[in-house]
Amino acid sequence: MTDALPARVGSRLRGLVRRAPGLAGPLTLRNRLILSIVALVVLLTIVIGAVSVVALRSSLVDQLDDELRQATNRALSGPATGGSDSGRPSVSPDEADLLGPRQAPGTFTALVVGQRVTAAYSIDSFGDVDDPVTSANASAVLSVVGTTDPTTVDLGGSLGSYRVEAEPVQLIPTSGVSSTATYGYIVVGLPMDSVSTTVTRMVAVIVAITVVGLAIAIAIAYAVVRSALRPLERMSDTALRVAELPLDRGEVALAERVDDADADTRTEVGRVGASLNRMLGHVAGALEARQQSENKVRQFVADASHELRTPLASVRGYAELTRRMNAGLPDDVVYAMGRIESESLRMTSLVEDLLLLARLDEGRDLVTGDVDLTRVVLDAVNDAHVAGPTHDVDVYVPDEPVTVSGDAMRLHQIVANLLTNARTHTPDGTHVHVSLTVDDASGQAVVSVADDGPGIDEAVLPVLFERFARADSSRSRKAGSTGLGLAIVEAVVHSHGGTVDVDSSAEGATFTVRLPLATPAVVAAGRGEEARLA
């Protein structure tokens, strides 16, 4: 039970911190350090304040006990005091003898005989004697009878808290007809007001000092922690700048480094900065090695593609010549020559695609100028009707020409490859919709090619535009595919400063190409006619 209580208290405190305004979510390192410093200051202040208050109160109570002893001695030094046969001091029960001018204002004196308070008096601030006997303070007085040390009790009424002690005495009246001695106790008390007032003032001073000190501690902690964490912030900025670099492709000059002042290995933060610099150095070396390897592969592909064009042209020419002669050749030989011619054409197309990608990687092979993208789209759709009459292709273009800056042949290749991709990977009868619009907000021309085929497998989408990627797992194909068509689309689009995206579902796939306009174009929404080409 005792072990579970601290755990529950800690859990509730953490819950309150999490629900506090401005502290939602995980705390930052800066906030943790500031809260830790402030909590430590508060804890030390509370401990020091509590110890100071306890020590002060103890000292004041000791002083009050000394005064109480003196007041008791004065009460025992009346006219009738003296020794007795029982060894108890003898006192007179008369009021004048007990509370004469010898006692200070506020002094309380009571006589107890048996279990009854026979007399109780107090001196007010004017030196007059009050008779404060009530049932409440009478029971409080009786509770201290028999004790040997001063005790704090609440006498009730207007008296409040008193420090009292009881002494056994023999009561001998100094006036009256009877002089019979009676045994009892004299109870003398002094008010605790002086102690309570001083302690209260002390607590108020400590609270005020704590508040001021806490404000100063928060300001100093914030300044110190902010100064200590500033190198980490600069390291974070460096890491963010590195993260924004396109490290996945192309030649990258990774020159970002942590400042030497933040990489001092004599400090903990400096060791982090030095480690980050070493890591960036390793990454830069790896990127350089990767770029050199890519350059070698790209150069090899470009050289090999260029060299293969001549022998492939020769093979295709001789195969075509032999097939056309068709004189005295067996049918199987004529068929074989036709297949050789067909495959040489396919290999030539593959070589041309590889050579184009290699040149685009090097930033070459583009002849830029103002291109009417409307005409490019219409020509590509017309070609698609001839190449794939089994697919239903329609097109939407605006009435006014849409002009972009680029290479007309490569832009035509973008639309042609997208249409070829839709025709190759969808069954006969699939509806393909091509549209050209203008996004005035971004100043871009938008070309969209959508089909209602089976869609693209989600596992293929992340690598769809990579070279030699295939989507056969979700879209049927009846003809061979090199897997370079969409890679060429992406490369050409990027070389024109545009973007290409794909959206796929069970209802089909949609490819969207965005290209920057050459000049501002205004196309009214809803204008244009949809043309279905048969």
SS3 178: coil
Element (H, E) at 218: helix 193-243
268, part of any domain? yes
| 404 and 497 both lie in a single domain | yes
94, part of any domain? yes
| 312 and 433 both lie in a single domain | no
97: containing domain: 76-191
Phi, psi dihedrals of residue 443, rounded to the nearest 5°: 65, 45
Domain count for the chain: 4
DSSP 8-state secondary structure symbol assigned to residue 517: B
Tens-of-pLDDT digits for all 534 residues of the chain?
444 544 554 455 455 445 544 455 577 777 888 888 888 888 888 888 889 889 998 999 999 889 888 888 887 775 555 555 555 666 666 655 566 556 778 888 888 888 888 877 777 766 566 666 666 678 888 888 888 788 888 887 778 888 888 888 877 765 554 556 678 888 888 888 888 888 999 899 888 888 888 888 888 888 888 887 788 888 887 778 877 777 766 666 777 787 777 777 787 777 888 888 888 778 878 777 777 777 776 677 666 666 676 777 777 777 777 777 766 677 777 778 777 877 777 777 777 777 777 766 666 666 778 888 889 889 888 888 888 788 888 888 888 888 888 888 888 888 888 888 888 888 888 898 999 898 888 888 899 998 888 888 777 777 777 776 665 544 444 445 566 778 888 888 888 888 889 888 888 888 999 998 876 544 333 334 343 333
| 377 and 510 both lie in a single domain | yes
Model pLDDT, residue 59: 92
**What would the two tokens of residue 95 be?**
């009021």
| 405 and 491 both lie in a single domain | yes
CATH number of the domain encompassing residue 361: 1.10.287.130
Among candidate residues 308, 341, 365, the one where a domain is terminated: 365
10, part of any domain? no
Model pLDDT, residue 79: 53
| 442 and 513 both lie in a single domain | yes
CATH number of the domain encompassing residue 474: 3.30.565.10
Angstrom distances, CA of residue 129 to CA of 123, 125, 192, 282, 314: 5, 10, 19, 95, 137
Phi, psi dihedrals of residue 26, rounded to the nearest 5°: -70, 145
| 357 and 444 both lie in a single domain | no
449, part of any domain? yes
7, part of any domain? no
SS3 154: strand
| 97 and 111 both lie in a single domain | yes
What is the rounded distance in angstroms from the CA atom of residue 242 to the CA atom of residue 246? 9
| 388 and 513 both lie in a single domain | yes
- H helix runs in 326-372, sequence order: 331-361
47, part of any domain? yes
| 360 and 397 both lie in a single domain | no
2, part of any domain? no
| 361 and 458 both lie in a single domain | no
| 324 and 376 both lie in a single domain | no
Instruction: Please give, one letter per residue, the 3-state secondary structure of 388-445.
Output: CCCCEEEEEECCCCCEEEECHHHHHHHHHHHHHHHHHCCCCCCEEEEEEEEECCCCEE
Evaluate if pTM is beyond 0.85.
no
Amino acid at 290: R
Angstrom distances, CA of residue 519 to CA of 197, 448, 532: 86, 21, 28
Closest-CA residue to 186 (of 62, 64, 103, 63): 103
| 396 and 467 both lie in a single domain | yes
422, part of any domain? yes
